[in-house]
Structure formats: structure tokens, C-alpha cells
């Protein structure tokens, strides 16, 4: 919208933001608008082809039922979001196509069901549909392994290598970054070391000082290249570093405003969490790591901060959300990133150096350069 206004102005034309927004809205329909229309009208939708971006974020049955009861006055709704959306297109008597764009390991919100719920829904109620799947859905980050086994006896299921976007479109530098982050989070140390050698044009550096990281960002960014600090929404003990994840920030100002605006990412004061940056990108990122997701000899450990202490996260679903949060944070930069793991403080039991040291040493063991 802002880009349209700016572009028209450069041609000597004036266009109001409201009109520019209307043009965008007319071209892309929000999934929630599509859902609400289908709730009101039992007839087949006018669309025969639908494309669901970020399809892994669709809700499971519990979350959808709760929302429908509270917000849509549907007390007996008993379907997941994928199941209902498929049913809307299934109203057509001739044909329909659903395209789901799925990001692996991107589920970060409570109730997000991932690609597995789309497959489960097809298995439960829609026998007549032809299913085309990427052959890479068996990778651990998609969490669909067990569900895929249920398709073995089903007809009209086709696996195609071409349905996987194997080359990153983020930038020419970032081709293997997502693979590196996956290996890093999956504790595949040797593979991560090999992958790191393939992305020498994409700098990833490590340090323990936030001020030093800020200087590194400013030295590497050129011209209008955007940089900023990203942190986990559970990173509640970064306050001594002037990072408060509870402090409100406006993503529009953070991503779009210029260097002279204190609300912009350039100012390196406001930070963005995984919720604000999912699906969006920076040129250069500073990922500041807290003790919520920490490395140990047993592997990754998961914590949430409550009151005056860190509490161990025991539910597998919440552990997955936290791991995916760091996956999102570590894959936001087009050009390069600096990872800051604070040193902690011996006098602060909530920032015990032991909470941070093992994480730093693990990242260093992979081969990340220190600054």
C-alpha cells in the first residue's frame, strides 16, 4: 500500500492510502473472509481454485471449535479449519483445486495444526479427492510422518519432487541457510558443519555483547538495507539488555519507517518476536538468544519464565512451538545475521551464566565465527 502511494507520487500522481489498500484487498481475499462467507451461504463458493498461503497455520479442531463458539455463535461446530475449508470447495459438483503452501516447522501459535491436519481431514471425510504431495514432507520439520503412512492404502495419491521449493527465494546468499538452521536445531552437528561451509557468502557470526552486534549490523548493511533485532516471545530475561518482549511495538513502523524514526527496526531499540516477523524478512538480523531455549548435554531444553523463575516446558506441543519460534527467528535475514548469546550474571539467579554458556559453546562448535 505504501509502495503504491510512493510510486504514484514519483509519477506526479496522488493516490490516497485507502484507495491503494482497497486495490490490494480486491486482489487478495483474506482466508477469514472466505471462511465467513461459506459459513453464511451453504451453496458452493464462486471460487473453484483457492490458494492457502502459510497453510501450516490452520487451526486444529479444538482451537477452531473454541473460536466458532466464542466469535461466530456456532456452539456445535466440530471441525478443524482445514476440514471446514476443504468441505467448502467440496460443495462443487464438477471440480475444485486447493493449493496449500506449507512452511516446514513454522507452527508457533497455540492450535496451529500443521500440514498433518490437512492430510488427516482428507482421510477422514474426502475420499474422492486426488492428492498431490511433495516427496519432502517426510522431513522431520513438517511433522507429518505418521499421517503420511495413512495414505499408503489410499488411491489417487501422487508424490512429486517438483512440489518442493528446494531453492531459497530469500536471496542468492541464503540458499542453504534454512537447511543449516534445521540441522542446528535437530542437533545434526556434522551435517551442520558441512552446510556452513557451503554458505560462506552468507555471514553468520556469534558474540556475547549486544552493543558489538549492533555495530556489526551497521557496518555490514549498505544503503537502505534493513536491519533489526529479533527475539523469542518467551525471552523475558533480556530486560537488563534493554529488551522487553512485553513492550508494544508496531510492525508497520518497525518494517517500513526510515532510519530517523525511533520506531523503525533501524533504530535497534524496539525488537520483533517470531509472531511479528513470521512471513516477513530483513536484510540483516540480530538474533538475541535467551534462556528459554537452551542447549545441554541432553539436547535442547525448553523453558518459560513465570514470576521469578524459569519453569520447564513439558508438553511436546509447546516444546515444538518454542523450537519453531527460533527456527523462524534464525531464517529471517536475506544477507546475513549475528547471533547474540548473553553471558548471564552470577548475581542474578534468573540469568545464571550456565543457562547461556552451553548454548554459546554449541553454536561455536558448529563453526560459527566469533566477533
Q: Residue 20's pLDDT band (boundaries 50, 70, 90)?
A: low
User: Which pLDDT tens digit goes with each residue over 316-365?
Assistant: 889 999 999 999 999 999 999 999 999 999 999 999 999 999 999 999 99
Residues 144 and 207 reside in one and the same domain: no
The last residue of a domain, from among 163, 188, 217: 163
How far apart are the C-alpha atoms of 222 and 188, rounded to whole Å?
A: 34
Closest of 363, 288, 364, 367 to residue 325, by C-alpha: 288
Cα 324 to chain centroid, rounded: 7
- pLDDT tens digits, 155-192: 898 888 888 876 655 555 666 898 899 999 999 999 99
- The answer as to whether 36 is a domain residue is no
Alpha-carbon distances of 316 from 49, 125, 131, rounded to whole Å? 35, 27, 29
Give yes or no: residues 116 and 217 share one domain: no
Tell me: do 52 and 193 sit in the same domain.
Answer: no
Q: Which residues contact 363 (CB under 8 A, 6 or more apart)?
A: 184, 206, 339, 341
Indicate whether 329 belongs to any domain: yes
Q: What pLDDT is stored for residue 227 in this prediction?
A: 97
Domain boundary among 126, 143, 163: 163
Compare 342 and 151 and report the one with higher pLDDT.
342
| pLDDT of 142 higher than 80 | no
Range of the domain at 146: 43-163
Q: pTM for the complete prediction?
A: 0.76
d(CA 18, CA 191): 50
SS3 230: strand
Identify whether 134 is part of a domain.
yes
In this structure, are residues 335 and 173 in contact, taking their beta carbons and an 8 Å threshold? yes
* 81 and 216 co-located in one domain: no
Q: Are 100 and 115 in contact (CB under 8 A)?
A: yes
DSSP string, 7-18: HHHHTT----HH
Q: What is the pLDDT of residues 226-264, one digit of tens each?
A: 999 999 999 999 999 999 999 989 999 999 999 999 999
In a domain, 262, yes or no: yes
Of 221 and 153, more confident? 221
Q: Does some domain include residue 28?
A: no
Q: Which residue has the cell 550456565?
A: 354
25 assigned to some structural domain: no
Domain boundary among 131, 163, 195: 163
Amino acid at each position: 500500500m505504501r509502495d503504491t502511494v510512493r510510486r504514484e507520487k514519483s509519477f506526479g500522481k496522488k493516490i490516497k492510502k485507502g484507495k491503494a489498500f482497497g486495490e490490494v484487498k480486491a486482489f487478495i481475499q483474506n482466508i477469514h473472509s472466505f471462511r465467513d462467507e461459506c459459513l453464511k451461504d451453504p451453496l458452493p463458493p464462486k471460487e473453484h481454485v483457492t490458494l492457502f498461503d502459510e497453510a501450516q497455520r490452520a487451526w486444529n479442531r479444538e482451537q477452531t471449535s473454541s473460536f466458532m463458539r466464542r466469535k461466530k455463535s456456532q456452539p456445535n461446530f466440530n471441525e478443524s479449519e482445514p476440514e471446514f475449508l476443504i468441505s467448502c470447495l467440496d460443495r462443487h459438483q464438477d471440480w475444485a483445486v486447493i493449493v496449500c503452501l506449507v512452511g516446514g516447522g513454522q507452527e508457533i501459535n497455540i492450535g496451529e495444526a500443521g500440514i498433518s491436519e490437512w492430510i488427516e481431514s482428507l482421510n477422514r471425510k474426502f475420499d474422492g479427492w486426488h492428492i498431490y504431495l511433495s516427496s519432502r514432507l517426510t522431513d522431520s520439520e513438517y511433522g507429518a510422518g505418521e499421517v503420511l503412512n495413512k495414505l499408503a492404502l489410499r488411491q489417487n495419491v501422487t508424490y512429486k519432487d517438483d512440489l518442493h521449493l528446494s531453492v531459497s527465494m530469500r536471496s542468492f546468499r541464503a540458499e542453504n541457510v534454512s537447511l543449516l538452521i534445521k540441522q542446528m536445531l535437530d542437533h545434526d552437528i556434522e551435517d551442520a558443519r558441512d552446510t556452513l561451509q557451503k554458505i560462506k557468502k552468507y555471514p553468520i557470526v556469534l558474540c556475547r555483547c549486544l552493543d558489538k552486534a549492533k555495530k556489526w549490523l551497521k557496518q555490514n548493511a549498505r544503503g537502505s538495507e534493513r536491519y533489526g533485532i529479533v527475539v523469542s516471545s518467551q525471552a523475558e530475561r533480556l530486560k537488563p539488555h534493554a529488551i522487553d518482549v512485553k513492550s508494544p511495538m508496531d510492525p508497520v513502523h518497525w518494517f517500513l519507517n526510515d532510519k530517523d524514526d525511533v520506531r523503525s527496526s533501524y533504530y535497534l531499540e524496539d525488537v520483533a518476536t517470531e509472531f511479528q516477523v513470521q512471513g516477513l524478512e530483513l536484510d540483516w538480523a540480530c538474533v538475541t538468544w535467551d534462556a528459554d531455549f537452551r542447549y545441554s548435554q541432553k539436547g535442547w531444553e525448553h523453558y518459560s519464565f513465570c514470576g521469578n523463575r524459569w519453569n520447564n516446558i513439558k508438553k511436546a506441543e509447546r516444546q515444538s512451538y518454542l523450537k519453531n519460534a527460533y527456527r523462524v527467528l534464525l531464517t529471517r535475514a536475506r544477507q546475513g545475521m549475528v547471533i547474540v548469546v548473553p553471558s548471564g550474571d552470577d548475581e542474578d539467579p534468573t540469568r545464571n551464566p550456565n543457562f547461556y554458556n552451553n548454548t554459546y559453546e554449541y553454536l561455536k562448535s558448529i563453526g560459527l565465527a566469533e566477533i
